[in-house]
Structure 1
């Protein structure tokens, strides 16, 4: 399996998980034209995409979704709350699309992939993350959550690779330009995971999760360097440069791959 970050951050999010017989896309937070361009740069054939999984309905995760689904003629999977919001309020067209409801804690299959949605804690209708498995390989995708609950931690600890939110540095957020109401939202249990919170997850993982991509970094309240330093502190003796990657808004490029390979 290979997990490639095409975009990560407040301006748009999208990753592709490719397996032996196909691929799935998680979120479509860029325009369809830009997503297809980034797939081409990353060497991903759009024709291999079997379906799109959506974590929640915020614009930086579904901006290009409606057009992309119609262009690729592929189904979308999301929770009932996310689908209802997307279909009733966010779509830009009334042309039919194929959509399926998934339920947190209930596994389902897409081709050779086994998908397990799990609940996250974010100010959206019914947000979720995903565990994607093929054979014995497991990749976890967990962003846009204010906290990591024990059930979430247990699921992630059993993965071979994880895309994990490390959104903000608390000091940069406190001293930054955002209004106090937005700062409270970001810090809340239904906001975004801070660098120290992400580091606490990594500390719990210890040596059990071989590869981690730190994702959804704020361009205003964080830096890749700060996220990496905090992650290094969390992993301690288990830290290895090759083990942790920081995803950026520009995504994976030939000279700077942001990938998990299993």
Structure 2
């Protein structure tokens, strides 16, 4: 039996808010909820969904650009929230409709989707990123990571789709408006990947089956879309416009991983 199509759309990506929708069969998940509850509803409507279409929320870590609307949105629509124990401890004061804990080292399933979390170096309590699959195709999600580890490489190797952080250009970061401490944090081992780091990672994994590559968490102050696309396209030996960019305001419309 052929698996149902795995599709995804980004409601927005960047330092002012992140949210991803992944769907397969009758299951739709909201991965991160970094906008207000009202804004999440508005952005869902943009991809022709309503809150009742969402089955659960999965949170990668507690930073506000991934967490902002979680409490109100989950309670307003009765949605369970999946998160690591460390993330729950960091947000112990926030009421949720229901709490489901997951380990960043163990796979779990929600409806028709399989989730394979993995830990990443980032300045949060217990951050995780995800590979999401339907038994046939795999979507790798990699953001909010300061340095790539061998385990990260292994987890996102040979995915069919990849959403990858390409946060900053080092020269633009160095000459940009951020204070020195924030620049050091962004470029540090617990910060965010540069264009060059993201591109280098792509040369170290099997990318032959990739149907979509999406630039995520791109800084509006310290990067430009064409720089990120050029860096990743060179690593993939493809045209720059084949690399999609998920923008802060517009996000990215639906993409599907076809059963080829």
Pair in the same fold by TM > 0.5: yes
| Aligned-residue offset at 1:226 | 1.0
Q: Choose from 69, 81, 87 the match for 2:92.
A: 87
| Aligned-residue offset at 1:240 | 4.0
Aligned to 2:256: 261
Distance 2:201 2:106 in 1: 24
Unaligned runs of 5+ in 1: none
Aligned to 1:28: 33
Q: Choose from 13, 21, 28 the match for 1:8.
A: 13
Aligned to 1:19: 24
* TM superposition outliers: structure 1 runs of 4+ over 6 Å: none
Q: TM-score, normalised by structure 2?
A: 0.92
Q: How many residues align?
A: 251
Distance 2:254 2:70 in 1: 22
Shift in alpha-carbon separation, 1:21–1:242, aligned structure 2, 3 A: farther
Aligned to 1:112: 112
Unaligned runs of 5+ in 2: 1-5
Q: Choose from 59, 63, 67 the match for 2:64.
A: 59
| Aligned-residue offset at 1:203 | 2.0
Aligned to 1:136: 136
Contact 2:168 2:195 in 1 (8 A): yes
| Aligned-residue offset at 1:251 | 2.9
1:210 is the counterpart of 2:205: no
Partner of 1:66, secondary structure, is helix
Q: Choose from 73, 76, 93 the match for 2:78.
A: 73
Structure-to-structure mapping, 1:162-173, within 5 angstroms: 162-173=162-173
Aligned to 2:3: none
Aligned to 1:101: 101
| Aligned-residue offset at 1:123 | 0.4
Q: TM-score, normalised by structure 1?
A: 0.91
**CA RMSD for the aligned pairs?**
1.5
